[in-house]
Amino acid sequence: MKFRITYTTEYRYSEPVRDNLNVLRVKPATTKTQAVDDFALRVAPETRLHQYRDYFGSEVVELGVTEPHERLDIEARMHVTTSEPEPAPAGSWEAVASRGYRTEGGEHLLQTEMSPPGGALDGLLDAVRAATPAESLARVSEEIPDRFEYRSGSTFVGSTVSDLLEGGAGVCQDFVHLGLMLLRELGVASRYVSGYLFAAPEDGGPDSVEVQTHAWLEALVPDADSGPRWVGVDPTNRKLVGETHVKIGHGRNYQDVAPIRGVYRGPATSEHTAAVQMRRLNDNGA
Amino acid sequence: MPDRDSAGLMAQLVGDSREYAPAPGFVDELFADTGVPRKHAANLVTTLDGMGRVVLTELGHRRDEIFRQQGITFAISDPSGAPHERPFPLDLVPRIIPADEWELIERGLAQRLAALNAFLDDVYHGREIVREGIVPWELVLGSPEFRRAVHGVRPPGGIYFHVAGCDLVRDADGGWRVLEDNLRTPSGISYVLENRLAMTRLCPELFTGYRVRPVDHYPQLLLGALRDIAPAPGREPTVVVWTPGPANSAYFEHSFLARQMGVELVEASDLVVRDDICYMRTTEGLSRVDAIYRRLDDDFIDPLEFRPDSLLGVPGLIRAYRAGTVALANAVGTGVADDKAVYRYVPEMISYYLGEKPLLENVQTYLLREPEQLDAVLDRLDGVVVKPTDQSGGKGVFIGPRASDAELARQRELVLRDPSLWIAQELVCLSTTPTVTESGALVPRHVDLRPFAVCGAEFRIIPGGLTRVALREGSMIVNSSRGGGSKDTWVLDAAGPHVAEVEDVAARELPDMPTLEQATWTGQEQQQQQQQQHGSGRAGGDG
Amino acid sequence: MLARIAHELYWIGRYVARADDTARMLDGLFRASLQAPGGPGTARLPWETVMTALGARPDPDEAPVSASEAVRSLTLDADSPASVTACVARARDGAKRVRDVVSREMWQTLNTLYLELDTSDLGSALRTGPYSVYAFVRERCALWWGLADETMLRDQAYAFLAAGRHAEGASMMLRMLRVSIVPSLALVDESGSSAEGPAPALLQAIGGLEAFRRSVPGPADAYPVAKFLLFEPTYPHSVAAALELVHGRLRDADPSYRTAAPLLRLARLRAELEFHRGGPPQDGGEGLASLLEHVQRELSEADAEIERRYFSGAAAQPHVVTA
């Protein structure tokens, strides 16, 4: 599929601020199933941009506005082409325990949060245990939306898995963190993915109803015949990742791939809005 | 090492040293186990005996007064948790290390630090030592000190730590062992320098008969290293010391070093990064900063890359660091190498990177994340020391042989909660050395040693370093934050005196020192002349 | 004002400054002498050199002077022109004769210093811990100058007192530079930088180490140190700064300063120093060495001119001369 994506973010400050530094992770990755046709970033007030690839391979843009300003507007426009990924391989749990798998999985095997105390996770763990890792992955993508309500405002960017379990509701970021914890507990290497989701509207129009960046997870699934592969699954939308998911990058958790981080100087308070516009184009790019 | 002193020396001893009894089972730095002073301690003991208890006590009081006046203090928390300033406790009896022993320590440390530096370079690039299965990847990639933000960045000269402090102890067999590596923000050098100054002022007679190697060139070494790494081609580099501020417990040392090096002491609000370059705010506008000796942990230095709530950091600093426009000492991410679990693999690092055997041994260490080692240790918990891998300052250290049954049970539970957070070590029998009590008596107390190395274009190690002493009888916890004290450390000079020959310009060319008598004579001469010229009458003079 | 009084004040200023500087130097040098010479870059100032600089020439045929001998001689020896106690005694003596001119507190300060030194067992104090002796001397001298600043009118009395202080400072600095640094200046290598020699030890001894570090970014080699101690206007003890102050105070004291010989000479000397300040390093440090010699000569001449112009009107002790 072909998409045109526009990511915009606006900051408004109660009084002029200066030395406003921001770090953005909004440019899609280039993978086997995804290619970036073009990407352009505009900033007002105008300033120099610096780009580099971080440890996890995500494309990063750094910018800073020195002189005093009361608003900062950033707009990223991009064209992306995606293709359908291969189905999840059918490797076994023995393979997950093997040395080769553990080396490949590396740091993504490690938990990034303390487990909730008192065995609060036990019921869920039992529910997602299955005959093969791929099946567990599928179950994770079902159990979580079954048991938790998708509701924004009940959690915030620093919420933990315990908060989600207690509150019973959260957003995609929380669902993914829970999924990561479950899979890692089972010994499956998994990583947090940030990206854009094309959610088709009911009337079949070209514009996605999803107007924020989205989060899902990738798990390392062993293959009987060849090396293990990373397979994406979306626990918010109960499905495997496909052509409608455009990946920006991955990390151990949200902090590693946050779309935007900023620091400014000044006593002002700030208001921040971000929005995504994603339009499906037909195959000749219109 | 016991030595054989003559009975004659024994007969010369008077006063306290005859009553000094080294603790059995431990090596004493200055006395053989027969109670006779070691050769290198003979002069000192004689002088101490001559001084006697009253003088020693009196000197102690003067020392306290001086330190209090000069603000040479550090912060500790009293039992209620409130912090207060305590004068840094300096014991007046120095610890003496003969020249040949020091030479061994110096070589051993240089080797160890070279291996650790190679390890850090490897960790942030290809991680070959992990690929080859020598060091487990969990210890590197799972360490909170592994800083992905600087992965692939090589600091100037490939030097990752510019100030290193390795803690050494002398074990019961007389040999030196490394207890711990400190590669992040090792502190204590200011006490080394102030202790030496205080000793030369308070009790210079103790130096009689000794040639003690000086230590006051440390600030110059550090400044030299910082200038070496500063990326400032074709101009004078600007170096600063970055402190979290006066509330920090080591603030005295930060300001001390800044003053001795003649550089600015900055806080976060003084620094700003614009377009990849770090500046400081001066009365003349922004002034570029090339090298920063920073005394903050990685977590706090840049809210954009690390802890976002850190008000002590400079946003964009890592961006400038990556761009190579500013050098940081120590480099970002060195904490991976001074983790207590990684410590266990340093002998393997020495072999892998240098192809050598370690000159200084580790203390036997067990990683409790390994199930077999965990089981073995839990079986003999009352015989080992257990330490958390992520703490410093002696916090959380558990000493099995000294623990009650209840404490043993509690420690077992703590470890089982998450074994990967703990290591265990054999109990090291720290050596002892004579220390003055409040009443002026000499008693044996346990000590360790923290030498300081500066790594610039070459490794230079300050002779001696900080000897920390546990002031309580029988205690082996030497950390100042937990009631320890310190001693001046003397490394003896092996070579003969080599005073620089200064040509005797003066004898030939310097005029006499002017004095009042000469001047009076001149005036008188003048008066005589005028009298003769004008016959009688006084010479006029202005009023 | 009376020539005699001006003369006394000038010399009180010189002697107090001399006692202060000598005490500071002895403290630093004694401390360095307790420890070994150390590695490269820690060459020491030999005691013979220091004694010569301070006008107490040791017998070149005798064995090397020990630290305790040098310390004793330069602190206690009544005949030595720079010994601390001798200078204090002479300053106090002078102050007795001008008690109406200096304030009561100033007199008390100096008198207390003298009495303390006179009644203490300095011999044993020097053995067990000279630091406290020197610290006391320096504290009192600092108090003296502080009180002078606070309590004296800025009149001719103040001017001559201050002129003496700074003239002594310039002279002392020149002497120390000539005996300790000049040989190291000769060891200039291809890149134009000089060896260190005892330059850091000199800085330590005169108490200018921290000031040097703040002011000069590079290492303490002989050439930069010599330049700093000779030219640096922001360092109050540099020769240039001291000469500026002598000139300034004499100008305050002398209504006909425009034609006064010592002032003209000092002005020319200041201009010469200013001229050489920015100059490039000369080969082998000869340029700097001969400049030091020249400055010292000029300073001696200026000393003589000062005596002639302001103090020679003072009636000296009667002395019979048969023509």
Query: ipTM of this predicted complex?
Result: 0.91
Q: Is the model's pLDDT at C319 over the cut of 60?
A: no
Tokens for A212, please give them. 């924020």
What residue spans of B456-514 are helical by DSSP H? 505-509
| Contact present, A214 and A172 (Cβ < 8 Å) | yes
Report the residue of B206, B226, B510 to disrupt the C interface, i.e. the one with the largest count of C CBs within 10 Å.
Answer: B510
Given 3-state DSSP classes, what are the helix, strand and coil percentages for chain A, each rounded to the nearest 5? 20, 40, 40
Is A192 or A87 the better-scoring residue by pLDDT? A192
| Contact present, B47 and B30 (Cβ < 8 Å) | no
Q: Which ranges in chain A are annotated with CATH 3.10.620.30?
A: 93-256
Least confident span in A171-180, A219-228, B64-73? B64-73
Give the mean model confidence (pLDDT) for residues C277-299. 77
Q: How far is B192 from chain C (nearest CA, A)?
A: 15
Least confident span in A153-162, B324-333, C22-31, C180-189? C180-189
Contacts of B308 in chain A (CB under 8 A): 261, 263
Report the residue of C165, C225, C311, C312 to disrupt the B interface, i.e. the one with the largest count of B CBs within 10 Å.
Answer: C312
Of the candidates B163, B225, B158, B168, the one whose C-alpha atom is nearest the C-alpha of residue B190 is B163
Place of tokens 């909170």: B144
Contacts of C44 in chain B (CB under 8 A): 499-500
So where are chain C's domains?
A: 3-311
Cβ <8 Å between C213 and B261 = yes
Q: Give residue-wise pLDDT tens across range C27-65.
A: 988 888 888 876 555 677 788 888 888 887 776 667 777
β-strands B239-242, B264-266: how paired? parallel
Cβ <8 Å between B148 and A50 = no
Q: How far is B142 from chain A (nearest CA, A)?
A: 6
| Contact present, B349 and B115 (Cβ < 8 Å) | yes
| Contact present, B182 and B466 (Cβ < 8 Å) | no
Q: How far is C78 from chain B (nearest CA, A)?
A: 13
Q: In chain C, whose CA is at the least distance from the CA of B256?
A: C210
Q: Is the model's pLDDT at C197 over the cut of 80?
A: no
CA B352 from centre of chain: 28
- Give the C-alpha separation, B131 to B141, whole Å: 12
Q: Does B322 touch chain A (CB under 8 A)?
A: yes
| Contact present, B13 and B49 (Cβ < 8 Å) | yes
In three-state form (DSSP H/G/I as H, E/B as E, the rest C), the secondary structure along B60-89 is: HHHHHHHHHHHCCEEEEECCCCCEEEEECC
Q: Does B380 touch chain A (CB under 8 A)?
A: no
For residue A198, the SS3 value is coil
CATH topology of domain A93-256: C8orf32 fold (3.10.620)
Q: Does A235 touch chain B (CB under 8 A)?
A: no
- Give the C-alpha separation, A184 to A137, whole Å: 11
| Contact present, A147 and A164 (Cβ < 8 Å) | no
Residues of chain B below pLDDT 50:
1-15, 500, 506, 521-543
Cβ <8 Å between C182 and B505 = yes
- Give the C-alpha separation, B45 to C239, whole Å: 47
In three-state form (DSSP H/G/I as H, E/B as E, the rest C), the secondary structure along chain C is: CCHHHHHHHHHHHHHHHHHHHHHHHHHHHHHHHHECCCCCCCCCCCHHHHHHHCCCCCCCCCCCCCHHHHHHHHHHCCCCCCCHHHHHHHHHHHHHHCCCCCCHHHHHHHHHHHHHHHHCCHHHHHHHCHHHHHHHHHHHHHHHHHHHHHHCCCCHHHHHHHHHHHHHHHHHHHHHHHHHCHHHHCCECCCCCECCCCHHHHHHHHCCHHHHHHHCCCCCCHHHHHHHHHHCCCCCCCHHHHHHHHHHHHHHHCCCHHHCHHHHHHHHHHHHHHHHHCCCCCHHHHHHHHHHHHHHHHHHHHHHHHHHHHHCCCCCCCCCCCC
Chains C and B touch (3+ CB pairs under 8 A): yes
- Give the C-alpha separation, B290 to B238, whole Å: 5
Instruction: Report the percentage of chain C scoring pLDDT > 70.
Output: 87
Q: Is the model's pLDDT at C133 over the cut of 50?
A: yes
Cβ <8 Å between C215 and B539 = no
For residue A180, the SS3 value is helix
CA B249 from centre of chain: 15
Cβ <8 Å between A110 and B142 = yes
Residue C141, C-beta contacts closer than 8 angstroms, at least 6 positions apart: C16, C17, C19, C20, C23, C113
Cβ <8 Å between B274 and A62 = no
Q: How far is B543 from chain C (nearest CA, A)?
A: 4
Residue C122 to residues A146, B59, C71, C72, C135, Cα–Cα distance (Å): 92, 18, 11, 9, 13
Count B/C contacts: CB-CB distance under 8 Å. 182
Q: Is the model's pLDDT at A16 over the cut of 90?
A: yes
Q: How far is B521 from chain C (nearest CA, A)?
A: 8
The residue type of C170 is A
Q: How far is B196 from chain A (nearest CA, A)?
A: 44
Tokens for C265, please give them. 């000479």
| Contact present, B486 and B89 (Cβ < 8 Å) | yes
Q: In chain C, whose CA is at the least distance from the CA of B213?
A: C36
- Give the C-alpha separation, B381 to B370, whole Å: 16
Q: Which of A89-103, A193-207, B101-115, C204-218 tops mean pLDDT? A: B101-115
Q: Give residue-wise pLDDT tens across range C67-106.
A: 888 899 899 988 888 899 999 999 999 999 898 899 999 9
Of the candidates B185, B161, B164, the one whose C-alpha atom is nearest the C-alpha of residue B296 is B185
Q: How far is B45 from chain C (nearest CA, A)?
A: 16
HSE at residue B516, side-chain half, CA atoms within 13 A, is 24
Report the residue of B200, B257, B454, B493 to disrupt the C interface, i.e. the one with the largest count of C CBs within 10 Å.
Answer: B200
Cβ <8 Å between B212 and C48 = no
Cβ <8 Å between B213 and C41 = no
Evaluated on CA atoms C227, C229, C235, C238, the torsion sign reads negative
* Order of strands, sheet of B239-242, starting from the edge strand that comes earlier in the sequence: B264-266, B239-242, B291-294, B327-329
Cβ <8 Å between B506 and C316 = no
Q: Does A55 touch chain B (CB under 8 A)?
A: yes
Chains A and C touch (3+ CB pairs under 8 A): no
Element (H, E) at B333: none
Is A22 or B13 the better-scoring residue by pLDDT? A22
Residue B6 to residues A272, B36, B43, B210, C40, Cα–Cα distance (Å): 83, 9, 14, 20, 37
User: pTM (2 decimals)?
Assistant: 0.88
Cβ <8 Å between C37 and B524 = no
Q: Does B128 touch chain A (CB under 8 A)?
A: no
Contacts of B305 in chain A (CB under 8 A): 23
Q: State the Cα torsion A166-A168-A172-A176 to the nearest 10°.
A: 50
- Give the C-alpha separation, A215 to A196, whole Å: 8
Q: Taking CA A16 as the corner, what is the angle to CA A10 and CA A22, rounded to the nearest 5 degrees?
A: 45
Q: Is the model's pLDDT at C306 over the cut of 70?
A: yes
Q: How far is A56 from chain B (nearest CA, A)?
A: 8
| Contact present, C280 and C272 (Cβ < 8 Å) | no
β-strands B422-426, B365-367: how paired? antiparallel
Q: In chain B, whose CA is at the least distance from the CA of A56?
A: B148
Cβ <8 Å between B142 and A107 = yes
Q: Which ranges in chain A are annotated with CATH 2.60.40.2250?
A: 2-82+258-281
B touches which chains (3+ CB pairs under 8 A)? A, C
Q: Does A66 touch chain B (CB under 8 A)?
A: yes
Q: In chain B, whose CA is at the least distance from the CA of C130?
A: B201
Determine the pLDDT at residue C123: 87
- Give the C-alpha separation, A113 to A178, whole Å: 10
Place of tokens 């002989």: C222
Residue C215, C-beta contacts closer than 8 angstroms, at least 6 positions apart: B262, C228, C232, C234, C235
CA A88 from centre of chain: 19
Q: How far is B460 from chain A (nearest CA, A)?
A: 34
For residue A165, the SS3 value is helix
- Give the C-alpha separation, B104 to B95, whole Å: 17
Domain A2-82+258-281: give its CATH architecture.
Sandwich (2.60)
Q: Is the model's pLDDT at C321 over the cut of 50?
A: no
- Give the C-alpha separation, B412 to B379, whole Å: 10
Q: In chain C, whose CA is at the least distance from the CA of B55?
A: C128
Cβ <8 Å between C319 and B524 = yes
Element (H, E) at B172: none
What are the start-end ranges of the E strands in A54-199?
A: 59-65, 69-82, 149-150, 169-170, 190-197
- Give the C-alpha separation, A107 to A160, whole Å: 20
B404 φ, ψ (degrees, to nearest 5): -80, 170
Cβ <8 Å between B304 and A23 = yes
Residue A47, C-beta contacts closer than 8 angstroms, at least 6 positions apart: A63, A64, A65, A66
Of the candidates C213, C71, C67, the one whose C-alpha atom is nearest the C-alpha of residue B217 is C213
| Contact present, B93 and B48 (Cβ < 8 Å) | yes
Compare CB distances from B141 to A48, A64, A107 and report the shortest one's residue.
A107
Predicted confidence band at C1 (pLDDT cuts at 50, 70, 90)? confident
Q: Is the model's pLDDT at A265 over the cut of 60?
A: yes
| Contact present, B245 and C167 (Cβ < 8 Å) | no
Contacts of B494 in chain C (CB under 8 A): none
Residue B116 to residues A229, B177, B405, B443, Cα–Cα distance (Å): 35, 16, 39, 38
Domains of chain B: 232-325 (3.40.50.11290), 364-427 (3.30.1490.270)
Q: Is the model's pLDDT at A235 over the cut of 80?
A: yes
Q: Does A249 touch chain B (CB under 8 A)?
A: no
